[in-house]
Structure formats: C-alpha cells, structure tokens
Structure 1
Amino acid sequence: MTTGIDARLDRIGTNDSYVIVPMDHGITLGAVDGLKDIESTIDAVTRGGADAVLTQKGVAPRVHEHKNGKGYIVHLNGSTSIGPDENDKRLTGTVEEAIRAGADAVSFHINVGSNHEPDQLTQLSEVTATARRFGIPVLAMAYARGPDVDPEDPEALGHAVRLAEELGADIVKTGYSGDAESFEHVCESTRLPVVIAGGSRGTDRETIEMVRGAMDAGGAGVSMGRSIFQHENPEAIANAVAGVVHHDLPVEEALAKAGLAIEA
C-alpha cells in the first residue's frame, strides 16, 4: 500500500475496523425511505457512529455538509431493480470523478458467478489500477450471485473475497454466510479486511447478532445500507453496530447502550 491509501483508509475506518453505510440505492430502488431526505440520514448515521457513507457521484453535494467529518466513498457502478437484469452492474463513474467529488475511497460491485462476471472482473481490475495511481483505496463489493450460486455458501463467498484481493482491492464487502463458524472460512480466504453486507432489514436483534457473528469470525466490520438508513432511528442502530464493531460489545449491551429494545 502507499501512504495515500493508508491515510485514506484511516478516514473511512477506525483502528482498521469499518462501519460504512452505503446509500447508493437511489439508482437501484429509487428514492426509498431514508433517501428522500438523505441529508438528515447522513447526519444521523455519522452522529451514531458510522465511519463513512457511500453514494453515487451525483449525490456528493448533498453529503459533505452533513457527514460530521466522517469519510466518504463514491460508488462506481450500478443497475436498477426495474431493468432487465439487476446483476448487470454498469459503470457509472470513474476514479477521477470520485476524487473531484471529494471521495476518500471508491467502491465497485462484482457479482461472482453471474453471467456478467467477466466484464465486471475486467472493470474492477481497471478501477484498482487507476485508484492505485492516485493513492485511493478500493472497496470491492464482491458477492456470490448467479444462476447456480448459493449467495450464502461459504466456499463461494470465500472465492469472491479472494478474487477481490487478487484484483488489487483494499477492502472487500460480501454477504454473510449465516453463522460465525462458516464465516471464518470466508475471512481466512483473504488478507483483506472483510466487511459484511446487511441486505433487507431484519429485527434489531437479528442485525446486531449478524454483526457480532461476523466480528467473532474475524471480520473487520460492516458495509450495511437498508438495515441502517431505513431504520426508524438510524442514529441508534448505527450506534449499536458501532458498539459491536469498534468496542467489542455483546449483542444485548450494544442494543441497550443504543437505547434499542431488546426483543425476546
């Protein structure tokens, strides 16, 4: 790594662990709850303990004044849920555009095992090469997704995170395999920091138990969108997640300190 990459990784994490809140879903899903007034959501999650937020480049003017000094990541590809194939992520920006937008890092999504994997693999390689020249970290969102792929299979997830390292990423996000024991294989498949996706919202306890399991398996944190930004109290759930990631709290204590009810 270069000095620039190390310095910028510090801006999007805390002591080599990461609570990132992606809010690039406006392309995929439209202006869903939590994204219409994205300014307030960004303010809430960063006050709650998020290290960084993530959006597409066009939203950058709505980010900086509201992120409370936290990090900013620009996402470089996307697709829509109403298009012909949501797995067909297409380029939406460049590393240079992200730098001009004030980003501390860039991210790129690849669906390993999908029909679009070849093109996305080539594009991720090009993104990491360009980012390296500028000293910008790359978060690879490497999912196991395809017609014959189980998205929670630890072997497939391990392959996805290893692919990200092989192509030059600095952090890798992937799905959770469902339990800490199986997720250990995923974390052991790469030397990169591994952060988990959140997926669709569950209960507060389910969310924090998932984070706890990932950390117990050797994970480095989360890149969790809807589970945080669509919560009725984004600041509180971000605080609970950060309690586990940054302070090693057990589930009940993280929920209680965040002021969230502990479900039976």
Structure 2
Amino acid sequence: MSAGKKIRWSRFIKADSKKGIIVPIDHGLSMGPLDGINNVQRIANWIEHPAANGMIAHKGMIERLAYRGLLNGKGVMMHLNGMTSLANDPTRKELLTSIESALRLGADGVSVELLFNGANEPHNLKVLGQVVDEAMVYGLPVLVMIKDMNKYEQASNRINASRQIIRTVYELGADAVKIQQPEDTNEIPAILDELCDDIAVFLAGGAKCADVEILAIASLAIKSGATGLCIGRNVFQRPDFSAFLSSLHSLVHTPLKNAAYAIN
C-alpha cells in the first residue's frame, strides 16, 4: 500500500486490533427503500454508533449524509457500480460513477459488487481491472463484494470456487473483499485458509437473523482470519441496533473472549 492508501484504509479498522466493522447501505439502488434506511433521518438514528468504523453507500446518499454531518469520523467508501432489481439482468453490475466523483465527495475508498453466474465473468473482470487501475493513481483502497451465483453438488467444489474468486480479485489488485456467508457456514475456515494473509476479507451479514446466529457466524469468521464484518440489514433493521453493534464490536476486537459464540 502507498502512504495515502494506508492512511485512508486506517479509517476502516481499529489501530490496536487491525479489525473493523463496515455497514453497507448501498441497497437502495438495487432494492428500493428498505426498513432502516428508508431515508436520511432513519439512517441518522444508528450511523453514528462508535462500533461502526465505516460505511458503504452510493454517491447520492453520501452527499446527503455528509450535508447532515453524519459521516464525521467514519471511513467512507463510495460504491461505484450497480443495477436495479427491475432490470432484465440484475446480475450485470454496470459502472455508474467514477473515481473522480469519489474523491470530490471525500471518500476514503471505493467498492464494486461482482456477481459471478458463469456468463458475466469477462464483464466483471474488466470492471474490476479498470477500477483498480484508476484507484491506484490516487491511493484509494478498493473493496470488492463478491457472490458466486452458481450451484454445486459437492461442498468441495463450492469451497474451491469461492477460493478461486477471492484469489482472482486479489490478483487484479483489490485490497479487500466482502464474501457472502456460504451455504454451510462451517465451510468458512476452509474458504479463508491462508487467503487472509494477502487480502483483507470481510464477512457479509446476509438476510436478517437472530442475534445468536449472526454472532456465532461472525465469531467463526474472525477466528478463521477475517479482517472484519460488512453487515447491513442485520444492523440497520434491528430495533435494538445499539446493543447488537456493541456485541459485534466486542466480538470483532476481542474474539478470544467470546468463545460462547463459537459454532461447534
């Protein structure tokens, strides 16, 4: 990492633990209004919680949150691509803005989402290659949200495919990757084995679920080498988001003291 990239990346993680919690709120472009992020006022209710090191949003939301002073002290990552769920092919995420726009808004990093379905790999790799090259000029960290849409009969094939996709984005210069929860969460250690030495891996929160369930999965990911969590709906759709974020903070930054959350 360049000096500028190191400084920007430091806003997404704690200096002592080298771990972080990022809350993505980019859902609105693809899914429309969601409970918890219906509008800026609803986001204001939880976004300033100290456990959230950073956030991910599209440029329009970043501008509105910044105007309200809600991003002070947070790592800000601008999402660059997307597609609405109303499109003929929602899995093809097109670039919608630029690195220059991210810099203008004061973003500390940029992100892209890539969904792999067996047909759009050339498009995905071209998008990522372009973003990494442009971000490198300005020392902006790049996080890639990945999801394998293919189905596998054997767990070993599913694990190997996940590992290959992580390695692919690493080879193209991404600094961090957000991975979906695998079909069997006990596969997390096998998926992450040794890969976390070379790229920061964040586990996604997925669909809303019970506190104990998401905490157990998160604990397994951290103990398997993940850099942190990238959790959206399981944060902003909780009635008691403050207690939950505090639990996540304790788990991520002191994982060895949270053995009760481990999956047996």
Pairwise TM-score range, normalised by the shorter structure: 0.7 to 0.9
Amino acid at match of 2:79: H
Partner of 1:80 in structure 2?
A: 84
- Write the mapping of 1:15-30 to structure 2, written as runs, cut at 5 A: 15=15, 16-30=18-32
8 A contact 1:141–1:172 mirrored in 2: yes
* Alignment TM-score, normalising by the size of structure 1: 0.88
Task: Give the deviation of 1:224 after TM superposition.
Answer: 1.1
Q: In structure 1, what is the Cα distance between the partners aligned to 2:153 and 2:121?
A: 12
The SS at the match of 1:74 is strand
Q: For structure 1, list consecutive stretches of 5 or more residues without a partner in the other structure.
A: 254-264
Q: Distance in 1 between matches of 2:243 and 2:180?
A: 23
RMSD after superposition: 2.4
Residues 114, 240 of structure 1: CA spacing in aligned structure 2 closer, same or farther, 3 A cutoff? Answer: farther
Residue 162 of structure 1: aligned partner: 167
Amino acid corresponding to residue 171 of structure 2 in structure 1: E
Q: Deviations over 1:217-243 (max 9, x none)?
A: 111111111111111122222222121
- Residue in 1 that maps onto 2:208: 201
Structure 2 counterparts to residues 55-204 of structure 1, below 5 A: 55-64=57-66, 65-146=69-150, 153-177=158-182, 178-180=184-186, 182-189=188-195, 191-204=198-211
Residue identity opposite 1:227 in structure 2: N
Q: Which residue of 2 aligns with 1:260?
A: none
Q: Give the gaps of 5 or more residues in structure 2.
A: none
- How far, CA to CA, are the matches of 1:172 and 1:84 in structure 2? 27
* Alignment-derived partner of residue 250 in structure 1: 258
Select between 54-63 and 165-174 the one with higher mean Cα deviation. Answer: 54-63
**Are the counterparts in 2 of residues 8 and 104 from structure 1 also a CA contact under 8 Å?**
yes
CA distance in 2, matches of 1:81, 1:56: 16
* Residues 48 and 235, structure 1, Cα contact 8 Å, conserved in 2: no
Answer yes or no: is the 8 Å Cα contact 1:43–1:68 preserved in 2. Answer: no
* C-alpha distance in structure 1 between counterparts of 2:133 and 2:204, whole Å: 25
Q: CA 1:153 to 1:240, structure 2 compared with 1: closer, same or farther past 3 Å?
A: farther
Question: 1:149 offset after TM fit, Å?
Answer: 8.9
Helix, strand or coil: the match of 1:153?
helix
- Following superposition, the deviation at residue 43 of structure 1 comes to 5.1
- Matched position secondary structure for 1:109: strand
What is the deviation of 1:70?
1.2
Answer whether contact 1:187 1:194 (CA < 8 A) is retained.
no
For the residues of structure 2 that align with 1:119 and 1:20, how far apart are their CA atoms? 27
Report the Cα distance in structure 2 between the residues aligned to 1:97 and 1:108, rounded to whole angstroms.
14
In structure 2, the CA distance between the partners of 1:194 and 1:125, relative to structure 1 (3 Å rule), is same
How far apart in 1 are the matches of 2:160 and 2:115? 15
Equivalent residue, structure 2, for 1:13? 13
**Aligned CA distance change for structure 1 residues 37 and 162 (closer, same or farther; 3 Å):** same
Query: TM (normalized to structure 2)?
Result: 0.88
Which residue does the alignment assign to 1:257?
Answer: none
Provide the identity percentage. Answer: 30
Q: Per-residue CA shift, 1:130-179, capped at 9, x if unaligned?
A: 10100100001122223669999321211111111101011111112333
Q: 54, 57, 63: which one pairs with 2:56?
A: 54
Is the Cα–Cα contact under 8 Å of residues 188 and 220 in structure 2 kept in the other structure?
Answer: no
| 8 Å Cα contact 1:205/1:251 also seen in 2 | no
